[in-house]
Structure 1
């Protein structure tokens, strides 16, 4: 899918944590819009997407001067409270444009010099391995979470055709863990997967988090329903995977391989 880039100078870069992210003092989005354009992305139902021309996934705003703005806002915020940051809540910080623009890396460089109390990095991109050197500077005050919704590539292509392949994500997760970066494999939203999925992830992350549409889209599944995602399950004859109780079946499967201390469900897996 072709993306159109827009260069914007934001008025602020740190946003107050609220709703699903109320456990954080702030959220941080290096970009507006996301090139991956995942079919199930709840952001499609939010004003940032609905009030824009062009389908979600076809445009990205690059936030110019983001690092300088973060330096000012972070210093100010740290005077008032403990600063915990979720990056990112409505975009992927390592989408393809990051190769050239390096906004995410510039923000990490600011945080290395002026560390928040905790940073959670959420991505589905293998590019995250590029910044291992910066992650390590934040020691135990960071967690890098790699979204791996399924272990079946044909399922990934059906639901998220423009997102990175599973193999590259797994390799990056493995490299992060080997380097000593605190890691999480995030199965969110859980998609149809094989019996081997728990074994495939074993040893590649410190912990896992399982989430679905009904717990994780911020509306009890209504936003996802409005996107017509059920039809994509029906096309594959996999409607049974689109049920509120499916996550419990997946948890049972993972418990055969992972300890309870390593497993988190929905919001608890994203907290600082």
Structure 2
């Protein structure tokens, strides 16, 4: 698979006001623009950051250089005005492949470890997050890692997001985070076709789960996702029943039968501070 092209840009600002689905946060923070994982269902495909680029989503990444110095100043100003809660990241994966070399996300965590926000949710699907366990431990209860695990079936993962990390590697990462005492959850978001043992698999590695689908989570009642041609993938897999509003209730119920009361959250509530 072809590697995405990298462009290096120095941002004037990093912290953006939380709004819409993320209105429960004071700010969002994106270490990169673009995402090499290029998941077929990603709602960012239909947003201006993607639509106004000539190249396809997943084929380009902007690296935000000197991001730590920008954040250090912005964070201090924001904290002087009131509580600071940060969602990282809303339109990219902070641990996509470029992070191995560039280290932008780690540099931002170093700033926050020294000057902690009130809360940080770190949303990723990459096991690379375990590299930064030392910094996450310093943040203590102020951080939660939300690891996307949409399915337990590799054939499904490959059909929807072939460039994303394998599911077993993500499960191992959740185990490592738990062993290190780092607060974490699995984000079954968007929920994809999975096996009947999926709830038990996740229960063995994490104590909290958030479940979401296109209709609740794409900010448009499923219309934005509907324009991405996803139904054809479900049809190829012979899993069209999963592409419906009814599928959410069935999956949610299957998890509540396995997880303790209050530890299975739905859509937006599962991502709030």
TM-score, normalised by the number of residues in structure 2: 0.99
Offset, 1:260: 2.4
Offset, 1:2: 2.1
Structure 2 runs not aligned, ≥5 long: none
Distance 1:245 1:108 in 2: 39
Which position in structure 1 is the counterpart of 2:147? Answer: 146
Q: Deviations over 1:78-117 (max 9, x none)?
A: 0001000000000000000000000000000000011000
Task: Check the 8 A contact 2:207/2:259 in 1, yes or no.
Answer: no
Distance 2:70 2:135 in 1: 19
The reply on whether 1:49 has 2:21 as its aligned counterpart is: no
Which position in structure 1 is the counterpart of 2:8? Answer: 7
Which position in structure 1 is the counterpart of 2:82? Answer: 81
TM-score, normalised by the number of residues in structure 1: 0.99
Task: Check the 8 A contact 2:151/2:157 in 1, yes or no.
Answer: yes
Offset, 1:256: 2.0
What count of residue pairs does the alignment treat as equivalent?
Answer: 272
The reply on whether 1:108 has 2:77 as its aligned counterpart is: no
Which position in structure 2 is the counterpart of 1:132? Answer: 133
Q: Which moved more, 1:87-96 or 1:232-241?
A: 232-241
Task: Check the 8 A contact 2:17/2:28 in 1, yes or no.
Answer: yes
Offset, 1:193: 0.2
Q: Which runs of 4+ in 1 moved over 3 A?
A: none
- Name the SS for the 1:115 alignment partner: coil
Task: Check the 8 A contact 1:213/1:220 in 2, yes or no.
Answer: yes
Distance 2:222 2:23 in 1: 19
Distance 2:194 2:44 in 1: 24
Distance 2:207 2:106 in 1: 24
Q: How is 1:121-200 mapped onto 2 (pairs within 5 angstroms)?
A: 121-200=122-201
Which position in structure 2 is the counterpart of 1:202? Answer: 203
- Name the SS for the 1:246 alignment partner: helix
- Name the SS for the 1:204 alignment partner: coil
Task: Check the 8 A contact 1:182/1:206 in 2, yes or no.
Answer: no
- Name the SS for the 2:7 alignment partner: strand
Distance 2:80 2:3 in 1: 42
Distance 1:118 1:195 in 2: 34
Offset, 1:204: 1.1
Offset, 1:247: 1.0
Distance 1:206 1:198 in 2: 11
Distance 2:81 2:265 in 1: 30
Offset, 1:206: 2.5
